[in-house]
Structure 1
Amino acid sequence: MTASSTRLVVRWHTVAEVAVMLNYGLSKTKMLVATGEIRSLKDGRHRRVLPEWVDEYVQRRAAGAA
């Protein structure tokens, strides 16, 4: 396998990427992360969110609306 054929798969998202995914503002998304409503981990100076954690948040919101 050559370097040009290697494909990087995103394993986690930045808070800004999560905001875009959820169609939320960055401030609201940061608040959800800070309060733990959206799980995250600290990677150096940055917060990262696994795709499963975004799914968990969406499922909780959908269940609360039902």
Structure 2
Amino acid sequence: MTTATVIQRKWHTTAEVAEMLGYGLSKTKMLIITGEIRSIKDGRSRRILPRYVDEYVELRARQAEEAAA
């Protein structure tokens, strides 16, 4: 019996994050430019760690909850 190893991605591209969040690429790029979603410069590319996406989602959820209160 062979066991398959699943390799989890360590970071995401801007396009992948846009798809995950259901946003357009332009909006996602703007969120990165403004620092609302943190990112890492890797050569000429931007990469977003999974925890940075989680931080953004948590922030938006907290803001929505506060606005509803």
- TM-score (norm: length of structure 2): 0.85
Alignment of 1:1-66 (within 5 A): 7-66=6-65
Aligned-partner Cα distance in 2 for 1:37–1:50: 13
Q: From the CA coordinates, give the structure whose radius of gyration is larger.
A: 2
One-letter code aligned to 2:7:
L
**RMSD (CA atoms):** 1.1
How far is 1:58 from its partner?
A: 0.2
One-letter code aligned to 1:9:
Q
Number of equivalent positions: 62
Specify which structure has the higher proportion of strand: 1
How far is 1:35 from its partner?
A: 0.5
Aligned-partner Cα distance in 1 for 2:64–2:38: 20
What does the per-residue CA deviation read over 1:11-39, in whole Å, with 9 as the maximum and x for residues that have no partner?
Answer: 00000000000000000000000000000
List alignment gaps of at least 5 residues for structure 1: none
How far is 1:9 from its partner?
A: 2.3
Q: State the identity as a percent.
A: 66
